[in-house]
């Protein structure tokens, strides 16, 4: 499948917190006024893509070279880019920050895989001539990463900006400053313990953001840099096995962490999915359930009050395949303690509690040590974990995964299994582990 004629840019930062989300979402908003914009996010983030999707009216996609591999990154980019005029990729952390001391999973790695130009965002607060040293270092660290423009954030006076430009010129740096954004508290997005607020929770106005960006960034220069992108071809293998099953997917404020690629993979495999809310909807007539991560701790009272938890326990005991990730693990346990202990679905023999301290953050690599509804024994899959909770299991607990990397539920084990239900702290991506085994089990359950 050849990529359509699109233009592309990757927005990277020198570090986390320098303003790349403001710049990336602002460029998306400005370009979306007159163009079709396809958004992307480097890394396993669930929250930034929600903001992207809201702005661009196209589902944002994650690009993660650790979980997806280079081929997975290319395939997702090509599929999602069809029909887009511009592709805007928001980076992660600092440009070169990847897995441990490697480039894997970094913004730079994605830029190299796609051969896309980079706009580097630098926090200019409290610094002037030193920015020339920063740019020089970043541009020479890996010359195969094509940094084509600089955007200064948190600038002061016009003279402050002039000093920075003059310093770059004096150092012989040819990378142009294409934008200088003054400090603006009104355009910042508040954060909570799992990252930025979700897209529907902030009052950021797209028009206001677009106008701010257009006022302080040279959009013509940005468009010219984006035109430097060269389309490429990639072959997709046809998905041979098809499954005529219905999957119920929990989708509300409590369960909202999903990859768009997962929905696409389910659709390509022939599955039909029905979205429902465990807080307010009855359980739909389906052949299997998939519950993603989110914030069940914020809605523990509503989840306890809903009869849906009893319905889920009933179908679990009947052998329906159920797969849950992170927040869903907490919900599928007996109880979840926040301000007090709330009763949950009671499918898994365990109890969870929220903690003030971060319990796990990072990439995971897991080997399946037993067959399960989601994976066969011996399969190695990659994912990530990020949670502020602990889950204490019964002594006879069975775990599907032994982690080669990551913390999991306890002592490097993850994927708590009961009946035909598996739930883990690990979030997975279909590029690492397809949902075929899950859909196969759902098909068996349907035909009983």
Give the list of residues 6+ apart from residue 425 with CB closer than 8 angstroms, or none: 325, 326, 329, 360, 385, 387, 391, 407, 408, 409, 414
Domain co-membership, 267 together with 156 = no
Gap between the Cα atoms of 410 and 387, Å rounded: 13
The candidate with the shortest Cα–Cα distance to 294, out of 179, 393, 389, is: 389
Domain co-membership, 206 together with 263 = no
Looking at residue 191, its pLDDT comes to 43
Looking at residue 235, its pLDDT comes to 79
Domain housing 360:
246-446
Q: For 34, phi and psi rounded to 5 degrees?
A: -130, 5
Domain co-membership, 309 together with 261 = yes
Query: For the domain that residue 108 is a member of, what is the CATH number?
Result: 3.40.50.300
Helices (H) and strands (E) in the chain, counts: 13, 25
Looking at residue 240, its pLDDT comes to 73
Looking at residue 196, its pLDDT comes to 40
Looking at residue 5, its pLDDT comes to 79
DSSP characters over 224-239:
HHHTT----B------
Domain co-membership, 262 together with 386 = yes
Active-site positions read 326
Domain co-membership, 329 together with 279 = yes
Domain co-membership, 207 together with 295 = no
Specify the number of domains making up the chain. 2
Residue 234 counted as domain residue: no
Domain co-membership, 215 together with 254 = no
Domain co-membership, 216 together with 324 = no
Give the list of residues 6+ apart from residue 110 with CB closer than 8 angstroms, or none: 10, 42, 63, 65, 73, 89, 91, 116
Domain co-membership, 169 together with 299 = no
Residue 231 counted as domain residue: no
The rounded average pLDDT for each run of 10 residues, N- to C-terminus, in the chain (448 residues) is 78 96 96 97 93 96 97 94 96 97 97 97 97 98 98 96 97 97 69 45 72 96 96 76 95 96 94 97 98 97 98 98 98 97 98 97 97 97 97 96 98 97 97 95 95
Residue 300 counted as domain residue: yes
Residue 237 counted as domain residue: no
Domain co-membership, 17 together with 161 = yes
Residue 240 counted as domain residue: no
Gap between the Cα atoms of 61 and 18, Å rounded: 22
* Final residue in a domain of this structure, among 226, 257, 277: 226
Domain co-membership, 84 together with 162 = yes
Query: For the domain that residue 306 is a member of, what is the CATH number?
Result: 3.40.50.880
Domain co-membership, 174 together with 320 = no
Looking at residue 185, its pLDDT comes to 64
* Final residue in a domain of this structure, among 226, 258, 276: 226
């Amino acid at each position: 499948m050849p990529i359509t004629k699109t233009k592309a840019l990757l927005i990277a930062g020198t570090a986390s917190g320098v303003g790349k989300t403001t710049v990336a979402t602002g460029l998306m908003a400005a370009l979306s006024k007159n163009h079709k914009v396809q958004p992307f996010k480097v890394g396993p983030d669930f929250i930034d893509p929600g903001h992207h999707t809201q702005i661009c009216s196209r589902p944002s996609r994650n690009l993660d070279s650790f979980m997806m591999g280079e081929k997975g990154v290319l395939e997702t980019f090509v599929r999602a880019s069809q029909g887009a005029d511009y592709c805007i990729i928001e980076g992660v952390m600092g440009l070169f920050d990847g897995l441990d001391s490697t480039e894997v999973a970094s913004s730079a790695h994605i830029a190299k895989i796609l051969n896309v130009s980079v706009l580097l965002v630098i926090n200019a607060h409290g610094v002037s001539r030193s920015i020339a040293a920063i740019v020089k270092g970043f541009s020479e660290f890996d010359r195969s990463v094509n940094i084509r423009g600089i955007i200064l954030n948190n600038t002061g006076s016009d003279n402050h900006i002039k000093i920075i430009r003059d310093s770059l010129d004096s150092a012989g740096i040819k990378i142009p400053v294409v934008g200088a954004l003054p400090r603006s508290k009104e355009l910042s997005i508040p954060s909570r313990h799992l990252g930025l607020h979700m897209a529907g929770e902030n009052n950021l106005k797209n028009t206001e953001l677009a106008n701010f960006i257009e006022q302080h960034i040279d959009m013509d220069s940005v468009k010219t840099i984006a035109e430097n992108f060269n389309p490429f071809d990639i072959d997709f293998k046809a998905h041979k096995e098809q499954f005529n099953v219905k999957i119920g997917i929990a989708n509300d404020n409590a369960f909202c962490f999903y990859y768009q690629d997962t929905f696409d993979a389910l659709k390509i495999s022939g599955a039909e999915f029905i979205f429902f809310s465990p807080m307010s909807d009855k359980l739909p007539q389906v052949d299997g359930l998939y519950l993603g991560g989110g914030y069940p701790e914020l809605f523990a009272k509503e989840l306890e009050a809903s009869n849906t938890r009893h319905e889920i326990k009933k179908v679990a005991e009947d052998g329906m395949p159920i797969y849950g990730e992170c927040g869903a693990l907490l919900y599928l346990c007996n109880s979840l303690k926040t301000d007090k202990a709330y009763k949950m679905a009671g499918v898994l023999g365990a109890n969870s509690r929220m903690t003030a301290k971060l319990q796990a953050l990072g990439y995971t690599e897991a080997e399946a040590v037993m067959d399960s509804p989601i994976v066969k024994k011996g399969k190695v899959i990659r994912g990530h974990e990020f949670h502020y909770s602990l889950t204490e299991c019964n002594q006879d607990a069975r775990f599907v995964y032994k982690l080669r990397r990551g913390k999991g539920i306890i002592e490097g084990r993850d994927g708590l299994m009961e009946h035909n239900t598996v739930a883990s702290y690990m979030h997975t991506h279909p590029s690492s582990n397809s949902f075929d085994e899950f859909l196969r089990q759902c098909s068996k359950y349907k035909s009983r």
